[in-house]
Amino acid sequence: MSEMVFQTNLERKIIENEEFLNKAESLLPVLNESYITPIQLVEVLPNKKKIHGWEVRSRDSVEQLSKMDFGKGDQVILDFGEHLVGYVTINITPVGSPPDAPLHLKLTFGEMPIEVAEDFSTYNGVISSGWLQEEVVHMDILPGILKLERRYSFRYMKVEVLATSPKYKVQFQKVVCKNVSSADLTAVSKLEHADEMLQRMDQVSIKTLVDCMQEVFEDGPKRDRRLWLGDLRLQALANYATVKNNDLVKRCLYLFAGTPDDQGRLAANLFIQPSVIADDTYFIDYSLFFMDTLVDYFHETNDLVTLTDLWSIAFKQIENSLQFLDSNYLFKGEGFFAFIDWAEGLHKETATQGILIYVMKKALSVAHLVNKSHKLLLEETIPLLVEASKKYLWDSEKQLFVSGPTKQISYASQVWMVLAGVLSAQKAKETLEKLPSTDAIEPATPYMYHHLVEAYLVAGDRESALDRMKTYWGGMLEDGADTFWELYNPKNKSFSPYGHHLINSYCHAWSCTPTYLIRKYNM
Ligand code: RAM
């Protein structure tokens, strides 16, 4: 499992482009702040029918909080009524004798009920438990204001008193969260959809996007709190359809372009603090998507300066990928070479071949504006890749694309070949229609579901697209989502590729695209 989740490249050397990084720095957004207070006190009780087996029930009105005394072993769960990303302060006053010992408190933050219901010490997943949102503090001076320095991503906050003293208790007089986001909601046009579920889906998508928009487009404000290229590409699309903060897309493009390695490779993700650091994870698909994100950005803004500035590094990703073609023009990869999806056992070469064609076609749509020889190369190479896909990867008996020596059938392979336009629309529709009756590897993430829905739309099958959106993102809504989740498997709601669903992110960038799909395709 851990091998599948992680990749290390300790040998690579980063060649920073200062000009690009300076440009990115000049586009650093100002965060908008709002102050949010809890709406009710709740309890979280076991209920097998609810997601992860936990149900939230109202316990008291929030006005009661300041009248309640808390001593050793007491606890309270506050519900802020919506998902927040921000900084919490609590005014704490002692009651009883003068406080003769420090107050010892534990705070736990949950995007989901399970996070404030289950003890984190049971967590045994492969991703660091450091992401689990909890904090233990001492207050030596009372009354006082507890000001948490860490940013949390949550709707629920549990406060547990680990110790006061036999002589005093405490009251929590005022609890406030300074909520932050760089998104400006004024640009969002109102959607009045006749279908209530789609209306709600649009709102929850926008909320997801907004909460992930910080100094960069983060993948998830709880985890990993960083800039992933694959997520950025989808966030940018949702952004164009709604908040239109196009400078943030530009900033993120310059950040990636400013940190290639000595082979010109762009990292799959960047850390932003203390300064921009390229992670040592490289995925062919994500690096190719730099070109796609750049071209989308150009189509949206007509910003030819940025397109011209970043074209070479974008094209370098295509050139690097072409080196992995065999003599038949088939992409060959080893190890954890591409992301594609978290579906277990997924063979990724055919999907990667599809992505390569898709991205090269996208590059070709603007190449005449920037580089004539690249245009020629694309024109010559794309047909070779398409022909090779039809000749070697299409199984004429099954009428499906296959991947690898076992001729694996997956949604991912069909979806990317459809998005790459390798099949006619009619053939694409038939291919996708066939999938449910096969044992094809299914999508595992909202990321892959997004591509499946878009593939249906490209193939002209609006009905299946809508159907999938309603069962998938609609399923999350029915399970209580107020922001969309990193992982969701309607057949196994505890699914996590990381070994435990406590660590999953429940406000996740790559899940924010229904607003784009609804608005762009008039769903
Ligand atoms: C996870 C995150 C992130 C994604 C990568 C590949 O760490 O969910 O969003 O892009 O996987």
**Contact 228 CB / ligand 1 (< 6 Å):** yes
- Say how far apart CA 243 and CA 230 lie, in whole Å: 19
Residue 156: phi and psi, rounded to 5, are -110, 140
Average pLDDT over residues 67-82: 98
**How many angstroms does the Cα of residue 93 sit away from the middle of ligand 1?**
42
> And the tokens for 311?
């074209």
Strand residue runs (E) in 16-139? 32-36, 40-46, 54-61, 75-96, 103-110, 134-139
Ligand 1 atom index nearest CA of 283: 6
pLDDT of residue 69: 98
Over 80: is that where the pLDDT of 4 sits?
A: no
Closest Cα to atom 5 of ligand 1: 228
Average pLDDT over residues 209-213: 98
User: Do residues 281 and 9 make contact, with C-beta atoms less than 8 angstroms apart?
Assistant: yes
Average pLDDT over residues 254-281: 97
- Say how far apart CA 208 and CA 210 lie, in whole Å: 6
Q: Which of 390, 400, 396, 521 is nearest to 460 (CA)?
A: 521
**How many angstroms does the Cα of residue 235 sit away from the middle of ligand 1?**
13
Average pLDDT over residues 336-355: 98
Average pLDDT over residues 175-182: 98
User: Residue 400: pLDDT band by 50, 70, 90 thresholds?
Assistant: very high
Average pLDDT over residues 29-50: 98
**Contact 230 CB / ligand 1 (< 6 Å):** yes
Over 90: is that where the pLDDT of 2 sits?
A: no
Instruction: Give pTM, 2 decimals.
Output: 0.97
Ligand 1 atom index nearest CA of 505: 8
**How many angstroms does the Cα of residue 69 sit away from the middle of ligand 1?**
43
**How many angstroms does the Cα of residue 131 sit away from the middle of ligand 1?**
14
- Say how far apart CA 382 and CA 359 lie, in whole Å: 10
**How many angstroms does the Cα of residue 103 sit away from the middle of ligand 1?**
38
Average pLDDT over residues 98-119: 98
Closest Cα to atom 8 of ligand 1: 486
Q: Which of 181, 234, 200 is nearest to 480 (CA)?
A: 200
Over 70: is that where the pLDDT of 360 sits?
A: yes
Ligand 1 atom index nearest CA of 231: 10
Ligand 1 atom index nearest CA of 510: 9
**Contact 231 CB / ligand 1 (< 6 Å):** yes
How much of the chain exceeds pLDDT 70, in percent?
99
- Say how far apart CA 228 and CA 120 lie, in whole Å: 26
Over 70: is that where the pLDDT of 1 sits?
A: no
- Say how far apart CA 286 and CA 500 lie, in whole Å: 25
- Say how far apart CA 425 and CA 419 lie, in whole Å: 10
Strand residue runs (E) in 214-355? 227-228, 269-271, 277-278
pLDDT of residue 87: 98
Ligand 1 atom index nearest CA of 508: 9
**Contact 498 CB / ligand 1 (< 6 Å):** no
**Contact 486 CB / ligand 1 (< 6 Å):** yes
Average pLDDT over residues 225-231: 98
Closest Cα to atom 6 of ligand 1: 339
390: Cα within 13 Å, side-chain hemisphere: 12
Residue 176: in which H helix or E strand, if any? strand 168-181
Q: Which of 29, 114, 30, 119 is nearest to 501 (CA)?
A: 114
**How many angstroms does the Cα of residue 395 sit away from the middle of ligand 1?**
31
Over 60: is that where the pLDDT of 462 sits?
A: yes
Cis peptide leading into 100, omega within 30 of 0? no
Ligand 1 atom index nearest CA of 445: 8
Over 50: is that where the pLDDT of 501 sits?
A: yes
- Say how far apart CA 447 and CA 509 lie, in whole Å: 9
pLDDT of residue 493: 95
Over 50: is that where the pLDDT of 115 sits?
A: yes
Helix and strand numbers (H, E) in the chain are: 14, 14
Mutate to test the pocket of ligand 1, among 224, 484, 496 (most ligand atoms within 8 A of CB): 224
Q: Which of 445, 436, 461 is nearest to 521 (CA)?
A: 461
**How many angstroms does the Cα of residue 75 sit away from the middle of ligand 1?**
34
pLDDT of residue 3: 52
